[in-house]
Amino acid sequence: MKEVTAKEVQQAIERGTALNLIDVRDIAEVEAGHIPGIIHIPLHLMEFRMQELDKNESYIIVCRSGARSGRATQLLASYGFDVANMTGGMSAWKGQVQQ
């Protein structure tokens, strides 16, 4: 499974790199604070909503600590998506947060 650190994601955003970030946390967690511009697809809906994603794009999957995003990353990768898990999740995130 491909992985990227929260710091690497933050640095890419600060450089102006366009990223496709998918937050797989529950609604209440996302509403409490999320990375601006994130796509929200709760983990329990990922299998049903993956057709909304483009296999020609790369995605970084985010959750609170990296466990749920790891499961989502494995699921999407098994269907041929180019995905990476953001290790440490929002617990490791030091960048801008939107509510």
Residue 41 to residue 18: CA distance in whole angstroms = 19
Rounded to whole angstroms, the Cα distance separating 3 from 16 reads 20
The CATH number of whichever domain residue 33 belongs to comes to: 3.40.250.10
Give the pLDDT score at 48. Answer: 96
Query: Residue 7: inside a domain, yes or no?
Result: yes
> Can you tell me the mean pLDDT for 70-95?
97
Total domains present in the chain: 1
Task: Provide the token pair at 15.
Answer: 């450089």
Is residue 98 in a domain? no
Q: How would residue 11 be classed by pLDDT, with cut points 50, 70 and 90? A: very high
- Residue 63 annotated as catalytic: yes
| Residues 6+ positions from 91 with CB-CB distance below 8 Å | 64, 65
Catalytic residue among 30, 61, 63, 72: 63
Taking residues 3-22, report their average pLDDT. 96
Give the range of the structural domain holding residue 76, as residue numbers without chain letter: 2-92
Mean per-residue pLDDT, 47-67:
96
- Rounded to two decimals, what is the model's pTM? 0.95
